[in-house]
Amino acid sequence: MTKSRWLKINSPSGDNSKNMLAVVETIENAEIKTIDGQTYVRFVVVTSKSSKSTRKRFLFNVFKKESNSSAMEEDGRHYCAIMLK
């Protein structure tokens, strides 16, 4: 378990930055600090590489996906997906 680098949340006066900060405050182990009026946040990074249960769940999901995913390919140009490890 490591920590991410300090992420800068720009213009804390902005609505989106305020909202972001409000959500970050609810996250366990998230660290927040302010230097020279600039707010930074940092998170705990759990790098647990594909435990068996996760992999099984994932494989099941992928197989489930295959059945109906061909239709969406027909006229799409750019495909983008994110999958958790």
Partner 1 sequence: MSKKATQKNKEIKSDNFHRCFREWVCNVGTILLYLALFFSLFFVFKDFSSSENAGSKDIGTLIWDSIISVVSIAIAITDALAAFVLIKYKKHASKFRVIVLAFITYFITVFNNVAIHYPLPISITVIANTFAIVVCIGFLVCLDTPVKTIESKDVKISHTERFNKQIHGALSSTDNKKLIAIQMYKIRVSSIHIGGVEQIEYRVKSGAEFIRDGNDINSISVVTYVLERNIVDQFQTIMHIYQEYVTKGQEIKKKQLLELINPQIDELQNKLKTIEIQKREVTKEDCCIARVLVIYLSMKQILNPDPESQVSHADYIGEVLLHDGDLDLSPDTENKLFTIVRTGILGAALLGENARHVFHYRKDGLKHGRKYCASCLATLNNAAEETAVNQEMDVCLFTVEANENASIPGFVISSIAKRESLISDVLNKYRIEGGDN
Residues making contact with partner 1 (CB under 8 A): 4-10, 15-17, 19-20, 22-24, 26-27, 30, 35, 38, 40-41, 43, 45-47, 49-50, 55, 58-66, 68-73, 75-85
Complex with partner 1: residue 13 or 26, whichever CB lies closer: 26
Structure tokens at 34: 């302010």
| Separation CA 78–CA 22 (nearest Å) | 34
Token pair 């302010």: residue: 34
The distance of closest approach from Cβ of residue 77 to partner 1 in the complex, given in angstroms and rounded to an integer, is: 5
Contact 45, 7 (CB under 8 A): no
